[in-house]
Structure 1
Amino acid sequence: MKRIAEDRILIVTAIIGILVFTWIYPKLYVSPHINLNMSREQVYTRADSVLLSLGYDFKNIQSIVMLENNKEQYIYLQKRFNKKHADAIVEADSIPVFWWSCEYLFDKAQVDSTNIVIRSSSERNREDRNEGKIKVLLDLNGRVKYLNLRDCEKFYFENEKYKDINSRAEEIAKQVLEEDFQNWYFYQKNRYNRAGREEINFLWKRNKTVAGEEADLTIAFSEQRVVLVEKKFLIDSKYLNKLHASTNLDILSLLISILAVILFIIRLRLDLLDLKIGIVPAIIVVLLWGIKFFTDIYYETFKLFSVISILGFFITSLFIGGGVWLLFSVGESLTREVWQEKLLSIDYLRTRIFTRDVSSSIVKGISLGFILVAIISSLQYFIVMSGYSAIGFLPNLVVMFSHKIPWLYGISIMYQLFIYISMMFFFAVPFIKRYFRWPVLGYLILVVSVIFANKGVPSLDSVIINSILNLIVFVIFFIFMLRYDILTVFIGGAVMPVIFYAYAAIVSNSAYLQVNGIIMLSLPALLLLTALVFKRNKVDSAELKDFVPPYLHRIYERERQKRELEIARNVQLQFLPQKEPQINNVEISSFCLPAMETGGDYYDFLKLGSDKLGVAIGDVSGKGISASFYMTLTKGFLLSHAKISSSPKEVLTRMNELFYENVPRGVFISMIYGIFDFSKSTLTIARAGHNPMIIFKKQKGFTEELKSQGIGLGLEKGRIFSETIEDIVIPLSQGDICFFYTDGLNESENIKGEEFGEQRIHDIISNNIDKTADDILNIIKNDIDDFTSGREQHDDMTAVIVKIVQE
């Protein structure tokens, strides 16, 4: 109930925000005051007519119409007068703040005698010297603002030579200025040499300023051909703030990108990333970016697709799409680690489960979008109307107004907010929470960084005020992130610019733009309707199993295996001797170093009376719990049979029968079992497929290996085992050394892949016969450590040394 009540409060707040925004918009923003009565076709016709009147024929030349603007002019008018007066000037078009640009593109080298342009099929670079461009700039009422025809001699068709270009200049001035000509006076006539040709310039000035601005009209002739018409208004520079708000994320984006790449590499190596989560967002952003990219290319080159544009799109898409994919991959991993509950709605969407919680996140996100535009517009309205700052234009507004499908271009702007949200709230905020000891400090650093971030809304002509507004927007996003989830923030960030652009079109005086604005606004409306329909779904997130990304399954599996190995290691260590037996005139030393992946190394000492000691060492095949289990089983078999027989062969034979009956095929254990009889100074030993024992006989003065016959326990039922294995009796004397070990010692590898080998063990024992058993084992361990140079140990290392000190 509490959640439902909270949703209702947000919806009501959003509705109030819509009403506030609707009331403020026409008073604050410029789009309702732009005179768009001329259609695109009328602009084409008017531009062609102007050129024909000057003696030029461009009817067969490819052209494109686009709306352009002068932000500085608009800011000046607000500062010189006020916002209302500035909008009145825009609406009357007495000073061109907005104008139509009709641009013609032609190849200078391919204009034939009939003035028909033959377009080459090859791709042309804009800097190609054979490519010509002219612009005819018309104010919103169709009056000439600017045109330059210096490179268009071959389009000139008028054969009549004017004897008096002075009267011709005045005639053109009257055509350009129309009824306002009476307010102008001829100022001067100048001659210039331009590119080897004489050019005559006629200059008119206006008697009175217009909105405090002086106005000039220049008409230039070259060989009696009109080559330039330029009407301009001169802004008083003292009214312009040269520190216009620079709102870009370039530096912050670069830092975050570098950090994201580093974390991506680290987490990829640790297998902590879900590489699939970023694919869909990356595709969406690339599609939105593609709409904007090819639109901009089209208005620059007149071509929608070309080799250069496709290559440029491919390269930029790799960076933009790849960046979003990387941010999502790393951000999801970080967020799931520190804030898993913020991903619930996204998780359910990924599993195609549309729960009430998902619906609630969408409703909250749309509400956030309307709340944001209401707060931003209200604050800007107060600031502008109070005279603290002037307001600029919505970014790319004229491009959208010039687009053939305005609603499509309008929604493409969402890609900027999508990247912003990904950087700030799907990466930076979780990163700070994860890695900063004092997260508040990290958030403050982030806040200072984002005050210069562009949110895709009209900006004011003040760095400080823009920074404060950007900070407010960030804080609102952050509060919604803390209170709700990341899906809410993403939806809010996507809806906010759509609302601004949709309203800009709806309040314009163009019916076509109004329809496109309604289409834009219908997108969040449709999303809201869908969310409200699914909100009636009785399935709740709490009733569903949590979504677990594949990499978490792998983490859980590794953790399970890790716990299993820890259990195995503990079992192994618990069943090994805790200390060596104390026997007169005998030194005994041992160690067992379990590897990272626990094996089944086993050794044991068995007291078989006052003068006898059994020593066993073995290696169970396999790793982990199973190896530890079989080691435990082996210990039990040995203890149950060791005191029944004094023959190692018989003990191992009986153990083999039990082992074969109780373990799966393929599991075996290699083992050496020896019985020291100190009263007789003998060692009776049998070997079941294990590493040979190394013995140093002092009387001989060298080491040797006892390679008695035998196969591993569990490889065969019994007959072959009993026929193969044998007892060997070895006399012992003072100074003799018996060394038992597993293959983890001799198979230890260095960084070159070389094994430590048995020979090094022989040499160590031979060179240290006067040292104690403990010292000899320590030397062996240290030499192995030096040999492997800290390389990770992959197998257990176990050794037992028995040295006869005195017979």
Structure 2
Amino acid sequence: MNKKKSLIFFLISLCVFIPISIFLIPSVNPLYGLKNLSEKVIVEKKAKKIISDLGFSTERFKQNISLISDKNLLKQSQQKDGIKLSNEKVIAGMPAYKWELRWNKIDESSAIDKNEPEKALENFIGFLRLHFDQNGNLLKLESHIDDKTKLPDITEIEAKKKSVQFLNKYTIYNNLNVDTTSVHKQEFQNDISYSISSDEGVNFKKEEKNKQNNRTDYKFNFNTIDTYSGNKINISVSVKGNFVSDYEAKQEIPEELNSSIYPTLFEIVIPIVLIIILIIVAFRKFRDYEIGFKIAIFMGVLSALGLLSELVFDTQNNFSWEILIGWVIAPLFIGVAITFLWAVSEANGREVWKEKYLEFDLLINGHLLDSKIGIGLFYGIGLGLTILSVWMILIFILNNLFSLSVDVLNDGKTIFAGSNDYVYLMGKNIYRSIYKAAIPLAFVIGLLRKRITREGLIIIIGALIWALSIQGVVQPFEISVLIEFIIGLLIIYSFLKFNLFVVLVGLFSSATLFNGLSYFFIQSNDFRISAVSLSVFFGLTVIFALVSLFTRDKLRDYGSIVPAFVKNITERERLQGEIEAAKKIQESFLPLETPEMHQLDISAKCLPALEVGGDYYDFVKHNNNNLSVIIGDVAGKGTKAAFVMTLTKGFFKALTRKILPPAKVLSDINELFYENVGRGSFISMIYGQFDLVEMKFAFARAGHNPVIFKRTSEKSSIFLQPEGIAIGMEKGILFTKTIEEQSVALNSGDVLVLYTDGFTEAMNNKKQQFGEENLKIIVETNSQKSSAELMDIIFKEVLNFIGKEKQYDDMTIIVVKVL
């Protein structure tokens, strides 16, 4: 990656992103509706005033404040009107966002006698909760007062007056009038209707009366129509004893919008499948010592700190021992999980792309100012800006074509409760980005790369898996998958073109700016502080990238910082390369087809083992009546055995141009082999000649397995095993003295089987060998079949015998049946 190119890419991405965001944010980002959000301080003052007026005390309570969204109302408005008009309605007053203030009791053990009404609210309220919309209007009051708490009784009319006075004073439904002369008793118990009217279209529905042992409780129900959404609003006010204890104005959302339409099947199944595959890969990597934890531990610690910051800001002032335990256990679990996932993903990825982890190697080894770090940061931030720009363009286009909704908070809640909110936002995005980079990206693409060579196909399949496994923020599901698929194409292409560090920085940048942009347009002091803090963070990151970009690199040998376990991968790949080369050599020197002879039915096959040996067979057709055949097994395995086999084939081809006695041919091969191959190498071999004029088979055996011969006139087969030592064991004198030649007459139906020890030494899980006798019996019982059928039966029986055990040696066989 070039220094100037990375800087140019960043600047171009920034210049494109700024106008796109300015133009499109009102039309694509639902948080734009919070533009005129009420200040947190003002909402807190208003809440405390209401609590004080109602007679509640919060001295023994802990306060917590957060901003939540009404997902269903937002979804309805966006799908009906589009995101831009929905934002305008939210700004005007549609309560799609709510400040939630909650007071939890600090010490439940301090409660006093429940029969002291004047102290009841101080001691017997478990919690208080108030909701205000984004413009500071009260939407909900909820308190928990024990049913056994004694409170002063008031009449029904007094309770009704209190509820109406509450609505008039603290809510937007403030033009209610009470006609106390119009009281109509209903037929059913505890349900009394009053005549309550309003200029705002608020209709009284009913009253519910509940007689407790120590007091009488009332609940008054109203309804009206929301100006912005057109939904019915159900309003309820509860009076317990002589206190207004609860209030809520809740919109009725149509049932089909109330239910989630995002199918969770893919969110659950695909990650589970990926984790199962990852565990299998992990077992293999641990077994082969091909896994390291240096970078993984760093990522795990970073993820744990990110989650901890999220939890701390989420719980805020609600400190307790239970919460403290959660602060310890949850980050510890996430840290360990990310450490494991990253380690396995890295081990799998380095097997395919060793260079894609270079920046992490530099960081973990202290080379923070290496230029590659600066290049990666500029490309990464530029990628993040590009991802967000593409996302906004897609939302803008699709929102004009389809009915869709966007929930940028994703979980329906966010914490905009303090000036340090940016820490919460970045902490949350750190561990989520690390997970996405490790599993749906690096691990999946690494697996695909091992099996698919076409880069375009890898990108398409990888993007589809990404789209189905990443929970999108758009509904309906089909649109979400389409958007995530396009984003996935961009991310995976960037990963293949650059490296994992670039994509991780890009994922974190886009996710942080995704919600962080709201800091810049929401008119609130807390948001302004977060906006400045976020700007400073990215500004310092850019400065650091510039410094590292133009600092002279001190490290020259990047291979010196590669983790030790990568060397194990390299060694295994080297050995695997040798095996593949040996297989190709072996396959290239074996006959492509068996020769056709008018009186012989010939079949031959070599089944290579996992670790290539040096099995070899060949034919030389001298004329229509004479055929030479050879089968051999080089001692040893791998590339060396394959090359020895290649040399042997050259000797064989040179010495069989003329028809010579088999013993003579093997003696000459032995002499050439001994002169040209180093000591310690040898080969067992059988060389024979078919003479179809005299109908005989003459052969010599140099330390090889015996030939199985089944005469059609006899019930049993026999072993043909003339004397002879292996080729390469001795210079030639002893070899020539010991080599014997044997000749057998051939008749129609006779069968000859030449084979290597891969058959007879094949071993099952009980460490039992198949043996020559079993092979001999198979030939006896199936000699009436064709050569191809007999050969297939032999392979089938041997492979069934070894079962799931590995095949450690080549299996080579020649079956000849006389016609």
Q: Aligning the two structures, in what range does the TM-score lie when normalised by the shorter sequence? A: 0.5 to 0.7
- The one of 391, 408, 420 equivalent to 2:423 is 408
2:798 matched to which residue of 1?
A: 788
- Quick one: distance in 2 between partners of 1:482 and 1:679? 68
1:125 matched to which residue of 2?
A: none
1:133 matched to which residue of 2?
A: 126
Q: CA deviation at 1:783?
A: 3.5
What pairs up with 1:338-737 in 2 under 5 angstroms?
354-355=371-372, 358-368=376-386, 371=389, 399-402=414-417, 405-414=420-429, 475=486, 478=489, 491-499=505-513, 501-505=515-519, 511-536=525-550, 558-571=576-589, 573=591, 591=604, 593=606, 595-596=608-609, 598-601=612-615, 618-631=632-645, 663-671=677-685, 689-692=703-706, 705=719, 711-715=725-729, 726=738
Q: What amino acid is the match of 1:783?
A: I
- Quick one: distance in 2 between partners of 1:653 and 1:390? 85
Unaligned runs of 5+ in 1: 116-130
What pairs up with 1:14-413 in 2 under 5 angstroms?
14-17=17-20, 28-38=32-42, 49=52, 53-54=55-56, 59-61=59-61, 64-67=64-67, 87=91, 98-105=98-105, 110-111=109-110, 113=112, 133-137=126-130, 146-151=141-146, 185-186=177-178, 192-193=209-210, 198-201=215-218, 218=237, 220-222=239-241, 226=243, 228-233=244-249, 243=257, 248=262, 250-254=264-268, 256-257=270-271, 260=274, 279=296, 288-289=306-307, 291-292=309-310, 296=314, 305=323, 354-355=371-372, 358-368=376-386, 371=389, 399-402=414-417, 405-413=420-428
Please state if 1:11 is matched with 2:14: yes
Cα distance change on mapping 1:705 and 1:517 into 2, 3 Å: same
Give per-residue Cα distances to partners, 1:220-244, cap 9 Å, x unaligned: 234xx64x42344476x69x89737
- Quick one: distance in 1 between partners of 2:30 and 2:596? 93
Assess if the C-alpha contact under 8 Å between 1:708 and 1:726 holds in 2: no
SS at match of 1:59: coil
- Quick one: distance in 2 between partners of 1:5 and 1:290? 36
What pairs up with 1:751-766 in 2 under 5 angstroms?
755-760=769-774, 762-763=776-777
Give per-residue Cα distances to partners, 1:403-452, cap 9 Å, x unaligned: 68422212244366777788987799999999899989x97998999799
Assess if the C-alpha contact under 8 Å between 1:282 and 1:325 holds in 2: no
Cα distance change on mapping 1:718 and 1:21 into 2, 3 Å: same
- The one of 751, 756, 775 equivalent to 1:742 is 756
Q: TM-score, normalised by structure 2?
A: 0.63
SS at match of 2:705: coil
- Quick one: distance in 1 between partners of 2:259 and 2:665? 90
Assess if the C-alpha contact under 8 Å between 2:606 and 2:813 holds in 1: yes
Q: TM-score, normalised by structure 1?
A: 0.63
SS at match of 2:59: coil
Cα distance change on mapping 1:648 and 1:302 into 2, 3 Å: same
Assess if the C-alpha contact under 8 Å between 1:43 and 1:142 holds in 2: no
- Corresponding pairs, count: 734
- Quick one: distance in 2 between partners of 1:475 and 1:673? 64
Assess if the C-alpha contact under 8 Å between 2:697 and 2:746 holds in 1: no
SS at match of 1:401: coil
- Quick one: distance in 2 between partners of 1:680 and 1:453? 77
Give per-residue Cα distances to partners, 1:738-794, cap 9 Å, x unaligned: 87653244345689876553334545676799x8xxx78556524313413578694
Sequence identity (%): 19
Q: CA deviation at 1:529?
A: 2.9
Cα distance change on mapping 1:97 and 1:177 into 2, 3 Å: farther
Cα distance change on mapping 1:253 and 1:202 into 2, 3 Å: closer
Q: CA deviation at 1:253?
A: 2.8
Q: CA deviation at 1:508?
A: 5.5
Give per-residue Cα distances to partners, 1:341-363, cap 9 Å, x unaligned: xx987665566664375355235
Q: What amino acid is the match of 1:220?
A: V
Q: What amino acid is the match of 1:570?
A: S
Cα distance change on mapping 1:230 and 1:76 into 2, 3 Å: farther
Assess if the C-alpha contact under 8 Å between 1:505 and 1:514 holds in 2: yes
SS at match of 1:29: helix
- Quick one: distance in 2 between partners of 1:300 and 1:526? 33
Cα distance change on mapping 1:15 and 1:535 into 2, 3 Å: farther
Q: CA deviation at 1:36?
A: 1.8
Q: CA deviation at 1:621?
A: 0.5
2:188 matched to which residue of 1?
A: none
Q: CA deviation at 1:554?
A: 5.4
| Worse-matched range after superposition: 388-397 or 754-763 | 388-397
Assess if the C-alpha contact under 8 Å between 1:183 and 1:206 holds in 2: no
Cα distance change on mapping 1:38 and 1:797 into 2, 3 Å: same
2:200 matched to which residue of 1?
A: none
- Quick one: distance in 1 between partners of 2:275 and 2:377? 33
Q: What amino acid is the match of 1:517?
A: A
Assess if the C-alpha contact under 8 Å between 1:480 and 1:489 holds in 2: yes
Cα distance change on mapping 1:567 and 1:426 into 2, 3 Å: closer
Q: CA deviation at 1:254?
A: 4.0
Assess if the C-alpha contact under 8 Å between 1:693 and 1:739 holds in 2: yes
Cα distance change on mapping 1:503 and 1:682 into 2, 3 Å: closer
Q: CA deviation at 1:710?
A: 6.0
Q: CA deviation at 1:671?
A: 4.6
Q: What amino acid is the match of 1:230?
A: D
Unaligned runs of 5+ in 2: 115-123, 181-191, 193-206, 364-369
Cα distance change on mapping 1:141 and 1:100 into 2, 3 Å: same
- Quick one: distance in 2 between partners of 1:316 and 1:531? 29
- Quick one: distance in 2 between partners of 1:801 and 1:658? 29
Cα distance change on mapping 1:451 and 1:138 into 2, 3 Å: same
1:128 matched to which residue of 2?
A: none
SS at match of 2:416: helix
